[in-house]
């Protein structure tokens, strides 16, 4: 099976983290967003992937390479300007013949197993297109699907309230070759983009069958700090307890935590779910719940909860601590005392916050 993975988005809502790398490579639950996505697609039987990337794609190409790490072959297509998802798909057209394929928005993270269920159902069906949807509270922020008697009768991108349906389009689609005519026939939307939602609505209006797979499981469009943190919580929640590093007798460890090899935990409290990366050093601190620490981090006399801390960060004497923070690689935060409670920091690579003269 082939899949087109759309990864050309700029990740503006995650700046400054996305100045140095695409949002698809930010870590959640100890792995890059894209690693989770490609593993899910591989589990669903995808063997050929077409990555649609923007003009600046060096880091994505380095990360995915030839795709063999996921048992796939990877090809690349460039979307020169952000002109919408239907336009992005058309950029991959040369790599796809008349076969049925999946399309996946590269920052979408879903409950494990949903992609496999959807792909199996779509490939076995006669539908010309199909998509995954989820009932949500705020459908106007998404594309929505209107269903009547189990059949998709209309699709609307970002409907004005009240939305005609609460079934939000999640960003995982299946298409047959009929989609190419639809993509070529639609006009730009009010936001100036060629919307894939409009292309699928075109199929419905021209008598084609459009299916839909309703999921009620986890879904995050990992494009904002809050969504990234919620994805981190979800994937950490899947962890089994495993302690490969050293935890001294003066420390307590509760819940599902993973302490990787080479990590040392001294006089500290670790509350799962929590991931302590390879060669981390934790002293006199409280970590968790819902914290992932990358490799070689040092946390001393601090508390960290609900946060993503990338490789080689140093957090020292931060009181009462960090909460809902995302630190890029090699960030240093020392001697921060928050008078209004824990600090929520969003800091890009190599940032240093420390007292003058100290560090
Ligand atoms: C896109 C789609 C929308 C879908 C959403 C899912 O919106 O156009 O239909 O519901 O992804 O994340 P965008 O993120 O481009 O606003």
pLDDT in tens, the chain (359 residues): 999 999 998 889 999 999 999 999 999 999 999 999 999 999 999 999 999 999 889 999 999 999 999 999 999 999 999 999 999 999 999 999 899 999 999 999 999 999 999 999 999 999 999 999 999 999 999 999 999 887 899 999 999 999 999 999 999 999 999 999 999 999 999 989 999 999 999 999 999 999 999 999 999 988 999 999 999 999 999 999 999 999 999 999 999 999 999 999 999 999 999 999 999 999 999 999 999 999 999 999 999 999 999 999 999 999 999 999 999 999 999 999 888 889 999 999 999 999 998 65
Q: Where are the alpha helices (DSSP H) in the chain?
A: 33-43, 58-64, 85-91, 114-124, 178-185, 196-205, 225-236
Ligand 1 atom at minimum distance from 171 CA: 6
CATH number at residue 112: 3.90.550.10
Pocket lining: 166 vs ligand 1, CB cutoff 6 Å: no
Q: Among 14, 82, 84, 85, say which to mutate for ligand 1: greatest number of ligand atoms within 8 Å of CB.
A: 85
> What is the C-alpha R_g of the chain?
22
* Cα–Cα distance for residue pair 23/34, rounded to 1 Å: 9
Task: Name the residue at shortest CA distance from atom 9 of ligand 1.
Answer: 143
User: What DSSP character marks residue 206?
Assistant: T
Is 359 inside any structural domain?
A: no
* Cα–Cα distance for residue pair 346/201, rounded to 1 Å: 39
Beta-bridged to residue 247, according to DSSP, are 265
Same domain, 318 and 290: yes
Q: CB neighbours (10 Å) of residue 151?
A: 12
Nearest CA to 1 out of 120, 170, 128, 132 is that of 120
Range of the domain at 94: 2-235
Which residue matches tokens 């690349």? 76
Same domain, 223 and 349: no
Same domain, 190 and 333: no
How many domains does the chain divide into? 2
* Cα–Cα distance for residue pair 5/48, rounded to 1 Å: 10
Same domain, 217 and 301: no
Same domain, 332 and 198: no
* Cα–Cα distance for residue pair 233/292, rounded to 1 Å: 9
């Amino acid at each position: 099976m082939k899949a087109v993975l759309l990864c050309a988005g700029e990740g503006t809502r995650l700046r400054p983290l996305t100045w140095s790398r695409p949002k698809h490579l930010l870590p959640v639950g100890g792995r890059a967003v894209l690693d989770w996505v490609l593993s899910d697609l591989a589990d669903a039987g995808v063997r050929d992937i077409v990555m649609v990337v923007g003009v600046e794609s060096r880091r994505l190409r380095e990360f995915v390479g030839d795709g063999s790490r996921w048992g796939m072959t990877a090809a690349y297509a460039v979307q020169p300007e952000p002109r919408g998802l239907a336009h992005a798909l058309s950029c991959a057209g040369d790599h796809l013949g008349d076969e049925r394929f999946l399309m996946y928005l590269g920052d979408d993270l879903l409950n494990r197993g949903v992609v496999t269920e959807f792909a199996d159902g779509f490939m076995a069906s006669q539908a010309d297109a199909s998509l995954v949807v989820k009932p949500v509270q705020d459908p106007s922020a998404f594309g929505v699907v209107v269903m009547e008697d189990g059949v998709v009768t209309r699709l609307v991108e970002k409907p004005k309230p009240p939305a005609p349906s609460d079934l939000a389009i999640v960003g995982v689609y299946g298409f047959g070759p009929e989609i190419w005519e639809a993509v070529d026939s639609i006009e730009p939307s009010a936001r100036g983009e060629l919307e894939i939602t409009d292309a699928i609505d075109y199929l419905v209006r021209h008598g084609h069958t459009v299916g839909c797979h309703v999921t009620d499981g986890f879904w995050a469009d990992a494009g904002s700090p809050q969504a990234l943190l919620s994805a981190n919580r979800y994937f950490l929640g899947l962890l089994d307890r495993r302690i490969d590093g050293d935890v001294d007798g003066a420390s307590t460890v509760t819940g599902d935590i993973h302490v990787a090899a080479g990590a040392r935990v001294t006089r500290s409290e670790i509350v799962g779910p929590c991931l302590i990366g390879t060669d981390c050093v934790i002293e006199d601190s409280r970590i968790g719940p819902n914290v992932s620490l990358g490799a070689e981090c040092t946390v001393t006399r601090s508390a960290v909860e609900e946060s993503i801390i990338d490789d080689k960060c140093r957090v020292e004497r931060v009181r009462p601590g960090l909460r809902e923070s995302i630190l890029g690689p090699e960030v240093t935060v020392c001697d921060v005392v928050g008078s209004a409670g824990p600090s929520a920091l969003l800091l890009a690579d190599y940032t240093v916050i420390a007292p003058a003269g100290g560090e």
